[in-house]
């Protein structure tokens, strides 16, 4: 049975994200649970919740398979216990009312015994193998159905897109609060040629001045965000490489996988994942022209790990920057 499980497991991991340790991942994201700076707490917390929601979504097929296995195994055990429970004194020796009560008691005892056996078997090696086999067979059946396989591919594609969106929102919201807190950053960012044109305050709508009661001293982030497109990796790089001096963060923002994730995001959003000439020319990907982009589970995990890693560094740099300027 183990050889069968190993073979199925390998096949299934081509299409589904399975065996992902959500508990450890949530512990890892505990890094975003707290901050010395109240303004950023909501941003960090939302980022964590967004990533946990993505994981809950991408693992839906496995959750369904686990439920199927649990029900099938428990029902088998319960049927066995019900049959065993019938080996009692002759029911004909009781009145009808007594028979009904006896049947209820018998049913409850069978259920409780089945429950105890279920948890015991799930811990035993044979029980674990049976559970894994049922789970993998269910997922294999899903992957053998072309429409369901397509749905699974789309699920991972969309969840990969959501990883980028969570990162984009994180970077955007951090930018707003940073500039709200330190309006002098506008001058620093204006020195960057590719960002300078985005700081054209001459065209600031009067309505914005009215909205903030003509006081922009702690509103520059909220004002300038309207001219920034944080779905563009080049903007994110320019902004954070300008604000922070960390060589580690700068290097990570230049990692090719981050660029590829960004380009794949664009392909999914604008071309429904159909590979075009522009995508091939701007990436190192060698997919056939006009083929459909299918992101593998292992690639999804790679992007997830990368985004978490970079976001951790951004959080560290924000807190270091704010702490330094608070001490001034």
Asked if residue 212 has pLDDT above 70, the reply is: no
* DSSP tag of 295: -
Task: State the Cα–Cα distance between residues 87 and 40, nearest whole angstrom.
Answer: 66
pLDDT higher for 58 or 323? 58
Asked if residue 317 has pLDDT above 70, the reply is: yes
Buried b (16+ CB within 10 A) or exposed e, 214-237: eebeebbbbbbbeebebbebebbb
Phi (first) and psi of residue 274, to 5 degrees: -85, 120
Q: What percent of the chain has pLDDT over 70?
A: 85
For residue 201, the SS3 value is helix
Highest mean pLDDT among 2-6, 190-194, 262-266, 324-328 belongs to 262-266
Task: Tokens for 264, please give them.
Answer: 């794949």
pLDDT at residue number 214: 45
Asked if residue 92 has pLDDT above 50, the reply is: no
Asked if residue 139 has pLDDT above 60, the reply is: yes
For 262-280, write each residue's pLDDT tens digit: 999 999 999 999 999 999 9
Comparing C-alpha atoms, which of 28, 29, 35 is closest to residue 320?
35
For 239-261, write each residue's pLDDT tens digit: 899 899 899 999 999 999 999 99
Domains of the chain by residue range: 1-20+59-144, 21-58+146-328
Q: What is the dihedral of CA 303, 308, 310, 312, to 10 degrees?
A: -170
pLDDT band at 156 (very low <50, low <70, confident <90, very high): very high
pLDDT at residue number 89: 47
pLDDT higher for 190 or 318? 318
For 66-84, write each residue's pLDDT tens digit: 999 999 999 999 999 988 8
- Please say whether the beta carbons of 19 and 276 come within 8 A: no
**What Rg do the C-alpha atoms of the chain give, in angstroms?**
28
Q: Which pTM was predicted?
A: 0.86
Task: State the Cα–Cα distance between residues 252 and 310, nearest whole angstrom.
Answer: 7
pLDDT at residue number 305: 97
Q: How confident is the model over 77-95, as a mean pLDDT?
A: 71
* DSSP tag of 327: -
Q: Alpha helix (H) ranges present in the chain?
A: 2-12, 22-28, 38-58, 60-85, 96-123, 125-144, 146-181, 185-190, 193-196, 206-211, 220-224, 233-243, 247-253, 256-271, 277-282, 297-326
pLDDT band at 206 (very low <50, low <70, confident <90, very high): low
Phi (first) and psi of residue 40, to 5 degrees: -95, -10
What mean pLDDT value characterizes the chain? 86
pLDDT at residue number 193: 80
pLDDT at residue number 1: 58
- Please say whether the beta carbons of 252 and 258 come within 8 A: yes
Least confident segment among 5-19, 80-94, 219-233, 289-303 = 80-94
pLDDT at residue number 182: 79
Task: State the Cα–Cα distance between residues 215 and 208, nearest whole angstrom.
Answer: 10
Task: State the Cα–Cα distance between residues 12 and 142, nearest whole angstrom.
Answer: 10
Task: State the Cα–Cα distance between residues 270 and 291, nearest whole angstrom.
Answer: 15
Q: How confident is the model over 108-114, as a mean pLDDT?
A: 92
Phi (first) and psi of residue 244, to 5 degrees: -110, 150
Cβ burial, residue 40 (10 Å; 0-12/13-18/19+): buried
Task: State the Cα–Cα distance between residues 194 and 230, nearest whole angstrom.
Answer: 14
pLDDT at residue number 183: 76
For 172-187, write each residue's pLDDT tens digit: 999 888 888 877 787 7
Residue 34 CA: distances (Å) to CA of 38, 41, 45, 227, 316: 9, 6, 8, 30, 12
Bridge partners, 274 (sequence order): 292
């Amino acid at each position: 049975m183990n050889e069968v499980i190993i073979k199925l497991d390998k096949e299934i991991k081509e299409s589904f994200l399975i065996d992902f340790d959500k508990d450890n991942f949530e512990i890892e994201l505990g890094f975003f649970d707290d901050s010395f700076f109240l303004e950023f707490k909501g941003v960090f917390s939302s980022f964590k919740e967004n990533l946990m929601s993505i994981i809950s979504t991408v693992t839906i097929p496995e959750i369904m398979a686990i439920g199927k296995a649990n029900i099938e195994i428990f029902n088998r055990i319960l049927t066995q216990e019900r049959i065993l429970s019938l080996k009692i004194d002759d029911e004909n020796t009781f009145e009808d009312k007594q028979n009904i009560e006896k049947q209820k008691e018998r049913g409850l005892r069978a259920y409780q015994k089945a429950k105890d056996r279920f948890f015991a078997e799930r811990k035993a090696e044979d029980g674990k193998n049976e559970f894994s086999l049922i789970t993998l067979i269910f997922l294999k059946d899903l992957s053998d159905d072309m429409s369901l396989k397509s749905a699974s591919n789309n699920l991972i594609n969309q969840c990969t897109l959501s990883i980028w969106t969570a990162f984009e929102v994180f970077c955007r919201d951090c930018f707003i609060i940073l500039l709200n807190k330190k309006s002098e950053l506008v001058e620093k960012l204006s020195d960057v040629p590719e960002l300078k044109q985005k700081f054209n305050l001459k065209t600031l709508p009067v309505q914005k001045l009215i909205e903030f009661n003509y006081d922009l001293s702690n509103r520059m982030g909220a004002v300038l965000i309207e001219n920034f497109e944080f779905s563009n990796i080049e903007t994110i790089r320019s902004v954070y490489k300008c604000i922070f001096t960390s060589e580690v963060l700068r290097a990570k923002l230049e990692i090719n996988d981050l660029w590829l994730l960004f380009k794949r995001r664009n392909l999914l959003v604008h071309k429904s994942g159909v590979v075009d000439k522009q995508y091939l020319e701007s990436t190192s990907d060698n997919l056939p022209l006009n083929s459909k982009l299918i992101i593998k589970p292992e690639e999804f995990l790679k992007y997830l790990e990368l985004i978490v890693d970079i976001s951790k560094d951004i959080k560290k740099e924000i807190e270091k920057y704010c702490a330094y300027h608070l001490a001034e």
